[in-house]
Amino acid sequence: MINKGLGSAVHIVQMIIAEVLKRGGTAVDATAGNGHDTLFLARLVGSEGRVYAFDIQKKALESTKKLLERYGAAGQVTLLNTGHEEMDKLVPEPVDAVLFNLGYLPGGDHTLVTSAGTTVTALKSAVELLRPGGRIGMVLYTGHPGGNEELCAVEQYASGLKGAGFNVIKINYLNRTAHAPVIILVEKAGDLLESQAATQNS
């Protein structure tokens, strides 16, 4: 992994996710976009693992598919051309990690953005799907219309998760403009390694 440093919110989230997502694991990319996070997850889980990648835009999934094929990682990824609020219906197994990189598709139509309602629906499903020790990482942007509302809704829901069962942290930049990205991380309490061992023994 190239160290892009703490200046990249995506890098910070990837570092924290990488700690719990191992070879053979299962992950969701809730916002495939151009496929960079999908590829990141696919490489961590390897050919024995599984990544479910959602995007409402066909163009995004086409870019993702191309990127995965270029790196020989398409086999372990299920591409789903639908909104991530369908996650509870379409992901058939518990997961170790879920990534959200919200806002609009880079290089795509800037009027098509994720929104507070569907994002929170998807986040609730992600929390349900998460294995003990698993983590959800979200990068949120407030520079576009609706971005602030989305951050507030996510923060309100995540803050309400019970302290004994979940660790919920917020990461923000102190020396940047008000529109710097914000990170929210949710961890379901428990030890991932123990839970993986239990799965392997069952």
Give residues in contact with its own copies (CB under 8 A).
3, 5-7, 12, 15-16, 19-20, 133, 135, 155, 158-163, 166-176, 184-185, 187, 189, 191-193
Q: Which candidate, 73, 79, 70, 65, places its Cα nearest to that of 45? A: 73
What minimum distance in Å lies between the beta carbon of 153 and its own copies? 13
Q: Which candidate, 54, 108, 105, 49, places its Cα nearest to that of 73? A: 49
The SS3 assignment for 94 reads coil
Nearer Cβ to its own copies (79/139):
139
Nearer Cβ to its own copies (58/162):
162
What minimum distance in Å lies between the beta carbon of 198 and its own copies? 16
Strand order from edge to edge, sheet including 182-188:
77-80, 50-54, 26-29, 95-101, 130-140, 182-188
What minimum distance in Å lies between the beta carbon of 168 and its own copies? 4
What minimum distance in Å lies between the beta carbon of 181 and its own copies? 11
Residue partners of 68: CB distance under 8 A and separation at least 6: 35, 38, 39, 42, 74, 77
- Report CA Rg, the chain: 16
Nearer Cβ to its own copies (79/95):
95
Nearer Cβ to its own copies (72/165):
165
Nearer Cβ to its own copies (1/112):
1
Nearer Cβ to its own copies (112/193):
193
What minimum distance in Å lies between the beta carbon of 155 and its own copies? 7
Q: Are 60 and 33 in contact (CB under 8 A)?
A: yes
Q: Are 9 and 181 in contact (CB under 8 A)?
A: yes
Report how far residue 98's alpha carbon sits from residue 33's, in angstroms, rounded to the nearest whole number: 14
What minimum distance in Å lies between the beta carbon of 195 and its own copies? 11
